[in-house]
Amino acid sequence: MESRFHPAETLRPVTPGDIPFLLEVYASTRAAELSLTDWSDEQKSAFCRSQFEAQDTHYKKHYPTAEYHIVEVDGVGAGRLYVDRWFREIRIMDIALLPAHRGKGTGSRLLSRLVEEATLSQRCLSIHVERYNPALRLYERLGFALKEDKGVYLLMEWNPS
């Protein structure tokens, strides 16, 4: 799959040594909401670790066939991409980039390649997105549509038809 990405962007499987980096990526996705609290840095760090571990446990339990990748740009960790492929659907479990790599087209290119894969395999492509996630506009621009409103999360889906 790597050869279909921008030359500077590669995917590699997550290894146990990547946990600190993955925790950093996760914490970066929670930074804005945590900035609204009066928690200490230690409390924020403990909360992020706890939530990261809970998420990781959930993913491994509910997505046993998933692929977990580190996104690298020019050989440097930029984010994570977790995908599970089923008979009729490709589920993006998680896509997250560190702030320094957001808004530069990396996410769009990763998603476009998944749209291409879904088109070629005639499967839908889906992702759960928090209602107020700024990336929601990106998904809509790429042709994802609301499939189900789950309260905090929206299930967005792209279909090849």
Instruction: Tell me the pLDDT of the chain (161 aa) as tens digits.
Output: 444 555 689 999 999 999 999 999 999 999 988 999 999 999 999 999 999 999 999 999 999 999 999 999 999 999 999 999 999 999 999 999 999 999 889 999 999 999 999 999 999 999 999 988 888 999 999 999 999 999 989 999 999 98
Q: Go through the chain and tell me how many residues it has.
A: 161
H helices present in 19-105, as ranges: 19-34, 41-62
Yes or no: is domain 2-158 CATH 3.40.630.30?
A: yes
Name residue 11's beta-bridge partners. Answer: 71
- Write down the domain spans for the chain: 2-158
Say what the pLDDT of residue 123 is: 97
- Write down the residue that tokens 């659907």 correspond to: 89
Whole-prediction pTM value?
0.91
Chain centroid, CA 113 distance in Å: 14
d(CA 64, CA 101): 29
> 9: closest CA among 72, 90, 80?
72
**Torsions phi, psi of 85, nearest 5?**
-115, 120
CA 19 to each of CA 23, 72, 120, 125, 160: distance values in angstroms, whole numbers, following the listed order: 6, 15, 33, 27, 35
Chain centroid, CA 134 distance in Å: 13
